[in-house]
């Protein structure tokens, strides 16, 4: 499920994976910027709490957007694949200017929404300019290649990460969330060893990667963004390594970016805040 083609003379919306830590995110500039991009007080926000098993997840998120001045807020309680074909839900997705997916379990998102009319509506919406954000599980789900499950640790190992299809808003990155807090560099490196075409984006809590329509990532929040660039890999032992054994990788480039820094997915260059 590759990204939908952007219509002529239009610009793709921002893709915004957030690393989690929702209590901090509420008071950070991340959601404020999402609202500004989506139209400010005129924004039409749609919340998808599918990843969460908490009945209050959608309402809690609605309260945050209300505090930011948004009045037009819809919660889509998508619990089954049949819900994804609901014409009323699809109409609300088509009318949105911004979409927010809560945290929880990314496999709930993938198995419930993947391959449905709701997934197609989300991809088409982003292609025509709607901004789509997700925190924690929602962050993992935005890309084509999603880390479904995995283990903590700093050294990549065969089998350390399992991938499944995500929403497919972008095929340029693989996102991992709660990154430094849960020591996930090894599993992101494992995912990249499986698929060295993509760039790894490890997002700390209370931090977001704002991926623009020009494929430049801007960092917002109080934590860091770890960029793992496998495009220069000279050697990988993945194919010859036993299950559970460490994987050797030579030639991976690493960047640690903070709020205001940027990364160009096309040129593979990082820029400190203030540089052009």
Which residues sit opposite 209 in a β-bridge? Answer: 219
28, 144, 145, 178: the catalytic one is 178
> Cα–Cα distance between 234 and 84 in angstroms, integer?
43
Report d(CA 104, CA 217) in Å as an integer: 24
DSSP for residue 119: H
The tokens describing 58, both together, are 């959608």
234 in Cβ contact with 248 (< 8 Å): no
Q: Is 136 a catalytic residue?
A: yes
How far the first Cα of the chain sits from its last, in Å, is 33
Q: What is the rounded distance in angstroms from the CA atom of residue 182 to the CA atom of residue 9?
A: 42
Annotated catalytic residue within 38, 136, 236, 259: 136
Catalytic-residue membership of 178: yes
Q: What phi, psi does 193 have (nearest 5°)?
A: -65, -35
- Active-site hit among 74, 144, 205, 218: 205
DSSP structural state of residue 224: -
Take residue 180 and report the two structure tokens written for it. 């430094």
* Residue from 224, 130, 228 nearest 174 by CA: 228
**Which one, of 247, 244, 267, lies nearest residue 255 by Cα?**
267
Positions marked active-site: 136, 178, 205
């Amino acid at each position: 499920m590759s990204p939908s083609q952007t219509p002529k003379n239009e610009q793709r919306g921002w893709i915004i994976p957030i690393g989690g830590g929702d209590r901090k995110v509420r008071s950070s500039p991340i959601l404020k910027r999402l609202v500004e991009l989506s139209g400010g007080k005129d924004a039409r926000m749609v919340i998808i709490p599918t990843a969460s098993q908490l009945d209050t997840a959608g309402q809690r998120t609605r309260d945050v957007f209300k505090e930011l001045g948004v009045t037009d807020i819809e919660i889509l309680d998508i619990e089954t694949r049949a819900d994804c074909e609901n014409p009323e839900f699809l109409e609300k997705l088509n009318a949105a200017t911004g979409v927010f997916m809560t945290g929880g379990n990314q496999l709930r998102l993938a198995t419930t929404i993947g391959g449905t009319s709701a997934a197609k509506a989300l991809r088409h919406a982003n292609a025509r300019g709607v901004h789509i954000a997700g925190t924690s599980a929602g962050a993992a789900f935005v890309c084509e290649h999603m880390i479904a499950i995995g283990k903590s640790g700093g050294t990549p190992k065969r089998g350390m990460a399992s991938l499944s299809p995500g929403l497919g808003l972008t095929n340029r990155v693989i996102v991992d969330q709660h990154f430094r807090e849960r020591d996930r560099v090894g599993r992101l490196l494992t995912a990249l060893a499986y698929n060295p075409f993509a760039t790894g984006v490890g997002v700390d809590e209370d931090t977001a990667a704002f991926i623009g329509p020009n494929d430049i990532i801007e960092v917002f929040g109080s934590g860091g963004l770890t960029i793992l660039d496998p495009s220069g890999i000279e050697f990988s032992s993945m194919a010859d390594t036993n299950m559970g054994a460490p994987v050797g990788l030579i030639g991976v480039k690493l960047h640690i970016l903070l709020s205001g820094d940027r990364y160009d997915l096309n040129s593979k260059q990082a820029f400190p805040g203030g540089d052009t």
